[in-house]
Amino acid sequence: MRRKENKLAKRIIISLVILTVLAGSVYLVFKFRHLPDAPNILSSDVEVGDITMSVVSSGNITNGAMINEELPTGVKIESVLVEVGDLVDVGDPLAVVSEASVNSQINLITDAIKELDKDINKQKGDTESASVKTNVSGRIKQLFAETGDYVEDVMLANGGLAVLSVDGKMTVTIEYNNLSVGGKLNVLLENASKVTGTVRTIKGNQVTIEIGDNGPGFDELVTVQDMDGKTLGQGRLTISQPVTIVASDGRVKSISVDLNGYGSAGGTIMTLEELPPTAEYLKLLSDRDDLVDTLLSLVALKKNNLLTASVSGTINTLNIEAGEVTSKGVMSSSGADGYSSSIPYDLLGLLSSEPNDATTVTLDAHRDKKSKSKKIYEVVQLGVVEITEITNSMLLQGLYRIIPSTGAFPVATVETDEYFGYISYTPSDLLFMPDVQYIADISLVAKESYVFPAGLIPNFGLDIIVSNISIDGNSPENSMSFRMVFPKTSTLDGILSLIPDNINLFDGLFSLDGLMPDFNLDDLISASIGDGFSMPDYSSLLGGALGNNTSFGSSGSDNENMMTAVVIASNETMTLNVEVDELDILKIQKGQPASVTFDAIPNREFEAIITRISSSAAGSSGVARYSVELTIGKDADMRSGMNATAKIKIDEKNNVFKIPVDAIQEQVGFCFVYLEYTGGILSDEREITTGISDGEYVEVIDGLTENDTVHYEMKSRGFSYFRMLNERG
């Protein structure tokens, strides 16, 4: 037994000795690295110089500024001289228009200006309401405005012009126990007068007492006593049920009610002067300005009957066709005896229809009878009409919800009975930001019962530009992809707020032929097609009045009498959106320069400027990343969609000690370098403190001097902590 124990002890001792020798060997190998392959050992003196730290991130470039070339409505297109993708220079002809239609529109616009001038003359001098009235009766307990004050200043400083007490009560709250709701107390006012109060509510030790509002002042310090004169507490009076009196413009001319005075419902509190013109009058002036701008465009067209390019660039979108008449509406006249219209349809209604089917269409229309108080509505039965064509227009059931609206979350997926799909936005903000133009790339896959037909053209309205349409009809899963370029969110928010959640906006189009009734259609209000399907009024969303002799089109113009005929992607700039993580985003500023390189354009570097930084992050795997937009001067070799890499400087140090990144020996908790290399061995460790790095060199804050030389083994260009720090993004 003892012999076995001795053997075991010897084995343990031998094992410990072996482990000690191995540990010592590992330390010596690490301490004095024997590197016989001398050509792999490099030496570098400590340099004094500059280091720049940058964020590097990649993305795909898109066309920069989109320039809208506009035409007046009501002008007939003789021929279109360009196609999507064509390059044009400033002054190049884009389309030929009919001289007769231009002259006709000049006469119409001139007459319209004359009619507007009559209305303007009648309404000039009219202003908004010249008095401030109360809608409820009450006592004036706060009066902020004085004679001569500007309403806007008083409103911003106080939140209102005056405050009414509408229930005849004021309240004070004190802290006290052992009181009962409904109990009577004495309230001593600042002028030493005494009134009777009633306990209204008790919450814990918080007791609220109410008194009449005739006399006591708002915020007056009062003392509460019991009926024997014992003081229970103090507090300041508040209005029990306050109503704030407001206005928006003007200057206070006179005040009709004194502080603590009583105002009857509908009574005048104060009168105002220097009021702005009425909204109706301002609208007339704005409409006239639009008509004048349109007239100038028509006069310019009359010179040579050509629409020309105002910038050099690439044709991005064409909204016109030869033989069409320009319009912002959805109605299309086919002559005096007939009427052809393209109207959004209900999907189920379409699937049950075929060309040559007969259906009944009813239009609700209104004409302005020059009545200032109302418009007169008419319901007109068009009668039985014939479906002549079902166009290949995009089925947008549910898809309008992908349109950006400030503060909303981007939609990542969509699914209907016909298809499912995915949407990605550029820039990729967590929430849609105000006044930003977003681009959506949409990929849709048809379900088993549906097929995207060849030649399908998405048609969205609302001035949404659709491009890059691709339909794969040969794959096992029939698919379609396209790009949508939206107007800036600020122009869409008001429109989207009008659309009910249960409406499938712009589900598609079909064409109808029928007899034109003998009346002048000013605005399309709704259409009833077949058995009860009703189309809501989206005429205002499409751009306004829908007159005769018009065809379907969309427009980005704010002028109701103009439409966007051609969209040109300017040759001057392109846009690159990249993502930067939260550790670096605060070091980046709008207007900051950057450099951009392209995989497809080797050995060249382009200058860029940061033009937008998202204020909200898109999270991925717990890392917050922010979208950064850069604008690049366009080069002839650049193409939309190319992969580009941006390098953005975020830190810079001048006249610092620096050594190559590869010289750094990285261990947990510290870094060091070797100062000796003899006999194939690296030795003489020196711990150092490092600073920023540009990926090639690293700043040495402490541990080395300018006279030192570091030695290191040449490394592969693999992972380096300092290189990672510089190239993150």
pLDDT at residue 329 tops 60: no
Q: For residue 477, which phi and psi values (nearest 5 degrees)?
A: -110, 105
pLDDT at residue 190 tops 90: yes
pLDDT value at position 587?
87
Q: From residue 195, give the alpha-carbon distance in Å to each of 162, 239, 436.
A: 25, 16, 61
pLDDT value at position 67?
86
- Where residue 641 falls among pLDDT bands split at 50, 70, 90? confident
Q: How far apart are CA 292 and CA 635, in angstroms?
A: 38
pLDDT at residue 125 tops 50: yes
pTM tops 0.85, yes or no:
no
Q: Quick check: bond before 39 cis, omega within 30?
A: no
Place of tokens 């004050």: 149
- Where residue 416 falls among pLDDT bands split at 50, 70, 90? confident
pLDDT value at position 474?
55
**Per residue in 464-495, pLDDT tens?**
777 777 777 655 567 888 888 888 876 655 54
Q: Which residues contact 360 (CB under 8 A, 6 or more apart)?
A: 381, 382, 383, 384, 385, 528, 529, 530
**Per residue in 571-606, pLDDT tens?**
888 889 898 888 888 888 999 999 999 999 999 999
Percent of the chain at pLDDT > 70 equals 69
Among residues 418, 432, 535, the alpha carbon closest in space to that of 479 is found at: 418
H-type alpha helices, 32-131: 99-123
